Structure 1
């Protein structure tokens, strides 16, 4: 998916575990099917998962999560990852890596939600709890700055979609970006954010309710609209309204969140349309939902 991506194999992970954590040597190791873009996952036994960066620009995640997850866990209403060991480069693998507790659940899929309204309420509770966190020395969240910073890369990506989308759809996306990225940047106090609430970073239980939130590599403080992207990349129109009402989101914040979601989707679609079908499909969902919401003849 990326230039310079390191090919992580089960054989390599088996050697790393045996060399650095011999008490886990010989445990069954199973690749985890995932649409994730920067980490390879391997289930170790039944209770653990090994997480290894594929690219060098994601290396800070291990340290970030090791520092902040223990502090966040008791403050949040659902399970989050627990880091139990950190590995070092070895066996030909060049970067730090980590072992976490395995969290049960399945990744929700847009258009296939079992309990869309319940899930919307659960997500609002999670976002509300994140915003209530009061921990000193918080890092700046990834993409937690002004939403207008997404405008240049979104415009560049939109130009690259000429062969994938028809001219009318491209024009509609451009107009939606004009409208929502044109809202003034947030000027209030920063709040705590997950900052990457994509479906692949969520786990639901058998009822379709939120069971866990994973991958906190982008955590930090910033514009509260940053965590509203999940309203567009996963929720139904009805669920979106439940989510918004539960958080009490005002119109400027809502539009900043919608603009973020659309910009991220446009960038993702042009980047992943050949290499990550799940990511590309979710990007198309976001585009469809945002354009429908911006069309006065439709609802959503």
Structure 2
């Protein structure tokens, strides 16, 4: 289905190889498209507005952040019984941030702190406060603990639930 979506909606990339990534994301199925692109298809209804938000916000945030973030190059429409919008972005080189890959990386920790500090410091004048509440980003993480643990348990095997430093509920 991903191949057909790309080929019909973005024919300029129809000849590029498409490879499913593993591990994929929890919100999206992710494919590498050629050497320079990625395709993200939402897995569930809760992720369907992300492509539209990213197309609006990522270009505005990118110049203010110390690390590269995805650059959207296209937003696809539902088709072929796939019900939601989906996105094509520039590929960001790097490695998957697993516990093993980061175990000895104080450099990655420092970069993450700088990134999160910069991100938290950005408050655009037209920030959609209502959207933030709807997406739960405007609430303390503690308020999301129970739902997060339930979602992790529901997707047993997809996440390494034991890797976190958090106390068990």
Question: What TM-score comes out, normalization by structure 1 length?
Answer: 0.50
Q: CA–CA distance in 2 between the matches of 1:284 and 1:31?
A: 26
Q: Which of 156, 162, 166 is the equivalent residue of 1:290? A: 166
Correspondence for 1:149 among 101, 123, 143: 143
Pairwise CA RMSD of aligned residues?
Answer: 2.2
Question: Does the CA-based 8 Å contact 1:269-1:284 persist in structure 2?
Answer: no
Structure 2, unaligned stretches of length 5 or more?
A: none
Shift of 1:137: 2.2
Partner in structure 2 of residue 270 of structure 1: 153
TM-score computed with the length of structure 2 as normaliser: 0.85
Q: In the alignment, which residue of structure 2 is the partner of 1:28?
A: 17
Match of 1:133 among 122, 141, 146: 122
**Cα distance change, pair 148–101 in 1 and its aligned pair in 2 (3 A):** closer
Change (3 A) 1:111 1:43: closer
Structural mapping, 1:25-104, within 5 Å: 25-104=14-93
- The structure with the greater share of residues assigned to helix is 1
Summarize the Cα distance change of 1:62–1:13 in structure 2 as closer, same or farther, 3 Å threshold. same
CA offset at residue 149 of structure 1? 2.7
CA drift at 1:130 = 0.8
90 and 150 in structure 1: CA distance in 2 versus 1, 3 angstrom threshold: closer
Match of 2:120, SS? helix
Compared CA separation, residues 37 and 135, structure 1 to 2 (3 A):
same
Cα gap change, 1:290 to 1:40, in 2 (>3 Å) = closer
1:8 alignment counterpart? none
2:102 alignment counterpart: 113
CA contact (8 A) 1:62 1:97 kept: yes
Q: Secondary structure at the match of 2:31?
A: strand
Q: Deviation string for 1:96-139 (max 9, x for gaps)? A: 11110011011121144264322211111011111221312223
Q: What is the CA distance between 1:75 and its match in structure 2?
A: 0.3
SS in 2 for 1:30: strand
Are the structure 2 counterparts of residues 30 and 136 from structure 1 closer, same or farther at C-alpha, using a change threshold of 3 Å? same
Higher relative contact order (CA 8 A, sep 6+): 1
